[in-house]
Chain A
Amino acid sequence: MPRSFPRRLAGAEIMARIPVTFILNGAEQAEFVEAGAVAADVIRDKFALTATKVGCAQGTCGACSILVDGELQLACLIPAARLEGASVTTLEGLAPASELHPLQRAFAEGFAAQCGFCTSGMIMAGAALLARNPDPDRAAVIDAISGNICRCTGYEPIINAILSAAATMRRAKSA
């Protein structure tokens, strides 16, 4: 029988929680989420995956960019309940543990991070681009990161790192 919420339990108000089952970085997960919780809350607070940063909580900075079924999405805007049945990839799931994705290596070698706070989102935006376009030109890279803000203003090295990773991945594929 369905229960109405909020209810009181031992004097405290309890809210309805929604069961969500989804794939997170390749592993099936099930969690109860509060109504109104967003994907970033669940990923960061319930699974302790903190690469996904929250910079604005209003969909303007891009720091919380993740992949949902391969599409670039802002984890601060997606209701957590909408993850039901989806496959979510965060920066932690981009490469197997103890390995670096070519994008991560290119960002590290190309000085494409300063404070590091936008870096996760930038790499995820780059990953989304390279998944659909393995050979992007500069304009395509700029377009792909146009929703991601870097206030250390390190855009040039970031663009170069994504182009360099694309080249590395193409070489690896043709080899």
Chain B
Amino acid sequence: MVQHLKEFFAAERSEEVSAVGQSTARSDIAGHVTGRTQFYADRQVRGLLHLRMVRSPHHHARIRGVDISAAETAPGVVKVLTHRDVPANIYTILKLIQVEPDDEPVLADGKARYLGEPVVAVIAESEAAAREAAGKVRVDYEELAPVLDVEEALKPGAPLVNEYHGHNYFTYEGHPFRRIRYGDVGKGFAMADHIVEERYQSSPIEHAPVETTGCIGVPEANGRITCYSNTQALFFTLDNAALILKVPFQKLRLVGGTVGGGFGGKVDVIVEPVAMLAAMLTNRPVKYAFTREEEMQVSSPRAAERIYIKDGVMKDGRIVARQIRLYVDSGAYSRHSPYGTTKAAAHMPGPYTIPNVHVDCHCVYTNRTPSSAMRGFGVTIADFALEVQMDKLARLLGMDPIEFRMRNAYRDGDMKAHGKETSGAALVEVMQAAAKMANWPLSPAAARASSTQRWGG
């Protein structure tokens, strides 16, 4: 149950603010319990066609040829699409917030860079007919050596994953990684009583929403295309689809907002451009929905991360230097990972005041499923690594883990490693409240501590 702890920051709080701690009925609850909430697949559309995707069975392969002739003449098939049918085949989702270059094909052209990459779209009168015909598409692959590890991918001579970048990393303002430089970590390590260096590794995490990714593209009499979608990002989808289809934005209409579980997994623009293109070319409504297997295999997961943390710490508990090397496995394409890597950098060195900080965050391309957004991406895994590291340091020093964090917690007026002064800090108070709830005994100094005063102040 939410508790409103009024004793904290009482001076900064208006008594008119009364929503916190109050239960309010969800506006969509009546629809959910009666089953009348309309998800995209609940639209009753006449004459619906179904789209099935032919996908690469290889992590990395040159595509020497594609033969769609047998699929085109299969029973029930209305249209078969290859990259040649896509007006602007190469895109990147965050283009409109200045992420570049375009690095991902809607349908593979000449090369497949991950297992499950879409190559050919088959559109038929029924799901069964589309599935049957997809099996008749012949793709001539020449397998290439894949690279599946972030540090291997950055070594000289590693297979080049994505030619649009020319190297296996995303470039940040001319740098091969996102950097933070603050103070002098060399000096910090030289003065430290202890130096602790650890390596942390996470695996990709699939959101596995109960409703798989999908949409229905519907051609309208006025020449526009309406797309009923379960995307979490209607506007990214509208923008990217218009650029991919080379049509003015106002020619497309996205309808959605009802998502059967997203968790960040439905932020990428994947199914809509293909479904809308298919609707344009057939002049029929087209549904493109991931099967459960596709949802698990090809929808972008939370990125795997590898994080090295090297800390210099004094016997009294002060961290005097922190050096971090962080690798985000972006998979074969950018999607949201260049942004996620920047978020990871912005989150370092954790909510602690450390005078010497050196951070390199690498966004790395490998032949794995492209990764993207998931609940606090860039931050969650970093926090796991940082806080396990904090526990290890506290244990090494023989200190209470909460008291150790309180000594280093940032406070109002502290300069952060990014060069921004801390304001509105509440970390100390949150830890005090958490300790109370967990019946974790605090020393008198820790119980007295505050975000507006230095330790012992």
Contact = CB atoms under 8 A, between A and B. Distances in A.
Interface string B384-412: 00000000000000000000000000000
A56 B33 CA distance: 21
A115 B211 contact: yes
A36 B132 CA distance: 14
B25 interface: yes
A64 to B, nearest CB: 10
Contact of A111 (B26, B34, B210, B292): B26
Given A36-B128, A117-B210, A151-B209, A91 B260 contact: no
Contacts of A72: none
B223 interface: no
Given A55-B211, A63-B210, A116-B260, A107 B33 contact: yes
Contact of B26 (A57, A63, A113): A113
Given A117-B210, A117-B211, A151 B32 contact: no
B33 A104 contact: yes
A24 interface: no
User: Which of B42, B128, B262, B263 gathers the greatest number of chain A CB atoms within 10 Å?
Assistant: B42
A120 B35 contact: yes
A100 B33 contact: yes
B259 to A, nearest CB: 6
Interface string A147-166: 00111100000000000000
A115 B259 contact: yes
Interface of B is mostly: loop
A118 interface: yes
Interface residues of B, number: 35
Contacts of A57: 291-292
Interface of A is mostly: loop
A151 B35 contact: no
A55 B75 contact: no
A119 B33 contact: yes
Nearest to B31: A116
B196 interface: no
B33 A108 contact: yes
A50 B260 contact: no
Contact of A116 (B32, B207, B263): B32
A150 B36 CA distance: 18
Contact of A55 (B23, B28, B292): B292
User: Which of B25, B44, B209, B260 gathers the greatest number of chain A CB atoms within 10 Å?
Assistant: B260
Contacts of B209: 115, 117, 151
Interface in A109-129: 111, 113, 115-120, 123
Nearest to B259: A115
A89 interface: no
B327 to A, nearest CB: 28
B34 A100 contact: yes
Interface string B17-38: 0000001011011111111111
B39 A113 contact: no
Interface of B: 23, 25-26, 28-39, 41-42, 44, 75-76, 128, 207-212, 258-263, 291-292
Interface of A: 13, 36, 44, 48, 50-58, 60-61, 63, 90-92, 100, 104-105, 107-108, 111, 113, 115-120, 123, 149-152
6 contacts: A36-B128, A50-B41, A53-B260, A107-B29, A108-B30, A115-B210
